[in-house]
Amino acid sequence: MSSALPRSLLVLGGARSGKSRYALELAENSGKAPVLIATAAAGDHEMAERIARHRAERKPDWRIIEEEIDLKGALAREARDERIVVVDCLTLWLSNLMMSGKDLNSAGEVLARALPALAGPVIFVSNEVGLGIVPENDLARRFRDAQGRLNQRLASGCEAVVFMAAGLPMQLKPSGAGLRS
């Protein structure tokens, strides 16, 4: 790694852009005990298979926490100076909140306000869903807008932000020397 890992990092990008791989490699190369907070809910057979595949791919030194809703609580419990936490991903967490009828704006604010109090470094993975066409249905438009607002809140609160495209990291915040996995 060419520079020290920030206390909080947001890794954004589109589907299959390399976000998770980048975040996991940063964590593995950090010298800290890696913790993954997985937010996926196995709502269908394909997602259940995907979750099982991701579990099998994890190296044995990873501590895996599955938390679909109470992300702030999981972070408070798991973030420690000797650990590095990867949250994969904010998009699925937001979807879980939306399907549970939660107040998305409030949840995003609560998460953003919790960042300074975390006791150890955290890497958040999130999808950038606002670069495509305007969705044709109301639910998809509300989700896209909520995701954009959440990404803005976290980007503002995190020490560093990286945008992934085609597996290539582009550091957005702070400007200067890049983070390397």
C-alpha torsion sign, points 82, 181, 116, 37 = negative
Question: Considering 54, 58, 77, 149, which one is annotated as catalytic?
Answer: 54
What is the CB neighbour count within 10 angstroms for residue 20? 19
Q: Tokens 């000797």 sit at which residue?
A: 82
Mark residue 16 as left, alpha or beta (left: phi above 0; alpha: psi -120 to 50; beta: remaining). Answer: left
**Which residue in 158, 168, 156, 148 sits closest to 123, CA to CA?**
158
CA–CA gap between residue 6 and residue 20 (Å, rounded): 17
**54 annotated active-site:** yes
Question: Crossing angle, helix 90-99 and helix 104-114, to 10 degrees?
Answer: 140
Residue 173, CB half-sphere, CA atoms under 13 Å: how many?
16
* 85 secondary structure, DSSP code: E
- Known catalytic residues are 54
